[in-house]
């Protein structure tokens, strides 16, 4: 095995475990030691439980010794964003509101990972309640980008992306409401997959915007993303939006014999605001697909200009509704200063929520209020339908769409204090959530300053097998995914 075991892929480590060249306890201990060494600088975790992780690893080794290994994830340390429930572990959403909350149950994805034998390792930092694009909105601490510790890792799943890039986990899970997996994956130089809405159960995910949220993996390679997706995808009766569909072997779909494909380039995604270095790297990726024999076709998504406005009406409205449950009565932060029950609601929410969460609750409550519902929320839902139709029309001509993931590389911590400037970081990703489509960010280069750049591929609904194959065709010819930061 390579010296830096914590930078190996799931596929490589699973083969080593199977060949008894390595034990899960050895692997998990190496990840723990790496985390202790770099975490003071990266700050990707909210908490972790060493003893619990090592006990899981020992159980994995015992299964393997008995000939009962459960597949490629058995014994692999995987860390989870701190909005995904793990029984008897903290579940804080990086908010004062849930600072002392311990989950009494497992999310469905947690159960699936446990069933697959994964070693669940730690709770990862995020923008509070997944609201943000830089992980600076966390109530605990900002996370730092491992490629440049003065810069953000993206958000809201910044802890998930940074932990993986820093070698503090072999894979991680995040959630994506408007780009919260793909954007930090691009800024941290890793692979990030947002599955089709309904493919992965949301049961046990702390809700931000229920019609947009989706859980997905961060990984070093497209193959690893396929392995994790295969483990967590599938229908769940506890999630009413979960879709009944056959789950293919995503890993087997990565064969080099597939393709060539028709790839669409949305003209609206290559205009004002795109960093020149990002644009140049993505154009080189387009040229590579052309060299593979793919047909490259310019397409139009004419309602793209309305995506940001539509998203921030729908997402904030749903956030306002979902976060109403944090009232200081049943669980979460309870103010010690309240004079009566009404004051308890006011004080608990004022003390427990951060500024960005309050901003979105206020906006969402406004667009849902009497006299404004039709003018804002209902109209936004109608525009959302038009946005989805734009994508579906494009898929009549092409197999997938290719765009930048983020308009800019990682920016300095504290650089974007204006909320609107941060909202614009998700300009290329939010349309995918509004349309319920799968999207993946794959590393495609570095800026002159050494900052990672990501390209985004967008597939048809439940077309993950094709999407992963297209992404793998690019990754196979480049070594971006093998590069690691000097920490």
* DSSP element (H, E) containing 464: helix 464-475
- Give Cα 51 distance to the centre of its chain: 27
- What's the pLDDT score for residue 272? 87
Contact 430, 307 (CB under 8 A): yes
When divided into structural domains, the chain yields a total of 1
Nearest to 184 by CA among 480, 403, 474, 425: 425
Is 306 inside a domain boundary? no
List the catalytic residue out of 94, 95, 156, 219. Answer: 156
The model carries a pTM of 0.96
The Cα–Cα gap between 179 and 182 comes to: 5
Split the chain (487 residues) into runs of 10 and give each run's mean pLDDT.
81 97 98 98 98 98 96 97 98 97 97 98 97 96 98 97 98 98 98 98 97 98 98 97 96 89 96 94 98 97 96 97 94 93 95 96 94 92 98 98 97 89 90 98 98 98 97 96 93
The Cα–Cα gap between 377 and 397 comes to: 32
Q: Is 94 a catalytic residue?
A: no
DSSP structure class, residue 452: E
Residue 245's Cβ-count burial label (10 Å; 0-12, 13-18, 19+) is: middle
List the catalytic residue out of 180, 201, 219, 481. Answer: 180
Is 157 inside a domain boundary? yes
Torsion of CA 273, 274, 275, 279, to 10 degrees: -160
* DSSP element (H, E) containing 455: strand 452-458
Is 255 inside a domain boundary? yes
- What's the pLDDT score for residue 259? 81
- What's the pLDDT score for residue 3? 58
Is 450 inside a domain boundary? yes
Is 312 inside a domain boundary? no
- What's the pLDDT score for residue 1? 39
Is 58 inside a domain boundary? yes
Q: Is 14 a catalytic residue?
A: no
- Tell me the residue range of the domain where 168 lies: 5-263+397-482
Residue 339's Cβ-count burial label (10 Å; 0-12, 13-18, 19+) is: exposed
- What's the pLDDT score for residue 417? 80
CATH of the domain at 215: 3.90.1300.10
List the catalytic residue out of 14, 23, 24, 81. Answer: 81
Contact 151, 413 (CB under 8 A): yes
Q: Is 194 a catalytic residue?
A: no
Is 322 inside a domain boundary? no
């Amino acid at each position: 095995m390579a010296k830096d075991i914590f930078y190996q892929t799931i596929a490589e480590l699973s083969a080593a475990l199977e060949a008894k060249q390595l034990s899960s306890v050895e692997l998990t201990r190496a990840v723990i030691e790496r985390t202790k060494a770099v975490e003071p600088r990266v700050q990707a975790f909210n908490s972790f439980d060493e003893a619990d992780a090592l006990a899981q690893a020992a159980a994995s080794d015992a299964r393997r010794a008995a000939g009962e290994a459960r597949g490629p994830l058995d014994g692999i340390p995987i860390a989870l964003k701190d909005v995904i429930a793990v029984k008897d572990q903290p579940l804080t959403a990086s908010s004062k509101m849930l600072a002392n909350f311990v989950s009494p149950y497992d999310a469905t994805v947690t159960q699936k990972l446990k069933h697959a034998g994964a070693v669940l390792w730690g709770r990862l930092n995020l923008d509070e309640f997944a609201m943000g694009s830089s992980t600076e909105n966390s109530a605990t601490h900002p996370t730092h980008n491992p490629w440049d510790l003065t810069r953000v890792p993206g958000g809201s799943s910044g802890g998930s992306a940074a932990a993986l890039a820093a070698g503090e986990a072999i894979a991680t899970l995040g959630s994506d409401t408007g780009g919260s997996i793909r954007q930090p994956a691009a800024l941290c130089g890793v692979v990030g997959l947002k599955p089709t809405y309904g493919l992965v159960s949301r049961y046990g995910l702390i809700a931000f915007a229920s019609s947009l949220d989706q859980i997905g993996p961060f990984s070093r390679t497209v193959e690893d993303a396929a392995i994790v997706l295969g483990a967590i995808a599938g229908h769940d009766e506890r999630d009413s939006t979960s879709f009944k569909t056959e789950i293919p072997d995503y890993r087997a779909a990565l064969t080099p014999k597939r393709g060539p494909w028709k790839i669409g380039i949305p003209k609206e995604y290559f205009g004002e605001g795109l960093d020149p270095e990002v644009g140049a790297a993505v154009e080189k990726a387009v040229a590579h697909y052309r060299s593979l024999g793919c047909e490259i076709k310019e397409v139009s998504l004419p309602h793209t200009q309305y995506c940001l406005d539509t998203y921030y009406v729908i997402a904030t409205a749903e956030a306002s509704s979902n976060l109403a449950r944090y009232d200081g009565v049943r669980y979460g932060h309870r103010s010690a200063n309240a004079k009566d029950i009404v004051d308890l609601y006011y004080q608990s929410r004022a003390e427990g929520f951060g500024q960005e969460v309050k901003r979105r609750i206020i906006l969402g409550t406004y667009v849902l209020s009497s006299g404004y519902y039709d003018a804002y929320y209902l109209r936004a839902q109608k525009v959302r339908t038009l946005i989805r139709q734009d994508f579906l029309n494009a898929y009549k001509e092409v197999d997938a769409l290719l765009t930048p993931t983020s308009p800019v590389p990682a920016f300095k911590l504290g650089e974007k204090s204006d909320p609107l400037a941060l909202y614009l970081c998700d300009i290329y990703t939010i349309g995918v959530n509004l349309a319920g489509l799968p999207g993946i960010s794959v590393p495609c280069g570095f800026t002159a300053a050494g900052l990672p750049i990501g390209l985004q591929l967008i597939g048809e609904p439940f077309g993950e097998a094709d999407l992963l194959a297209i992404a793998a065709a690019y990754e196979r010819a480049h070594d971006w995914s093998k590069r690691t930061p000097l920490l």
